[in-house]
Amino acid sequence: MRNALKKLYITLILIFLYAPIVTLIVLSFNKSKTRAKWGGFTGKWYISLFKNDDIMAALGNTLLIAFVSSLVATVIGIIACIAIQAMKKRSRSIVIGITNIPMLNADIVTGISLMLLFITLGIRFGFLTILLAHISFNIPYVILSVLPRFKALNPSTYEAALDLGASPFKAFMKVVFPDILPGVLSGFLMAFTMSLDDFIITHFTKGAGIDTLSTKIYSEVKKGIKPEMYALSSIIFISVLVLLFLVNYMPKENKKEIK
């Protein structure tokens, strides 16, 4: 009985979380361009999607920016964590406090302040400025994922490796890194997700001719979202979902490694 209740609760929450997603997927097959009417079933938006150069370019930009910014943020974040770990409590609190600022500040304030920064520094707006902005707001997510793992480490293992003759870098990679890996991956994932979805910061830091999916969608709100967007979002969603299931239900000899 108790188990049934638990399962029911989880199911209800999942329905709540996924209802809009399902709605969007259904709309992607809507023959009518407007979301207010069901015009019949069609797959044509999926086809016209791939013919649309603008959307494809935006997709490429979005994925590239998300990937690169998350990667850079992860590297910087890990280095930062090593340093933070070695700090005294007071400096640690201050640095963590500063780290939290982009996450807590209103998106629009972060976006505008970065735009002001780039204008002051005379940097030309374009791909680079978006990348810098994304890295900036991604780093906090990485740090906050990795830091707890650092805390849980046993410092003696690292020192033992050094004693045995390993260079600090090698010791780090062989001893420390595997242990913090789950946190690193979590952080990377969060950063990637936040980067994918960001609109307002990208809007203020992008140059002419560069669009991410988010900015493209927002510019369509006034006139009505192109159904190709529903199709695209559905494709992204379904592919990630399928990957997730495949990976999880593949035969696993090394199940113990995954955590």
Interaction residues for other proteins, span 30-49 (CB under 8 A): 32, 34-37
Min CB(29)–other proteins separation in Å: 14
Min CB(164)–other proteins separation in Å: 19
Q: Where are the alpha helices (DSSP H) in 28-52?
A: 44-51
Binding mask 159-188 for other proteins (x = CB under 8 A): ---------x------------xxx-xxxx
The identity of residue 108, as a single letter, is I
Q: To which H or E segment does residue 109 belong?
A: helix 107-121
CA distance 212 to 203: 9
Q: Which region, left, alpha or beta, applies to residue 42 given φ > 0 means left and ψ of -120 to 50 means alpha?
A: beta
CA distance 121 to 239: 41
* Residues sharing a CB contact under 8 Å with residue 191, sequence separation 6 or more, in sequence order: 69, 70, 73, 74, 138, 139, 141, 142
Coil vs helix vs strand at 19:
helix
Exactly one of 195, 213, 227, 231 binds other proteins (CB under 8 A); that residue is 213
Exactly one of 161, 202, 214, 231 binds other proteins (CB under 8 A); that residue is 214
Residue 175 or 210 having the CB closest to other proteins: 210
Min CB(253)–other proteins separation in Å: 12
Exactly one of 15, 47, 54, 173 binds other proteins (CB under 8 A); that residue is 54
Residue 160 or 247 having the CB closest to other proteins: 247
Exactly one of 43, 44, 47, 86 binds other proteins (CB under 8 A); that residue is 86
Residue 43 or 97 having the CB closest to other proteins: 97
Min CB(218)–other proteins separation in Å: 6
CA distance 130 to 65: 8
Residue 56 or 173 having the CB closest to other proteins: 56
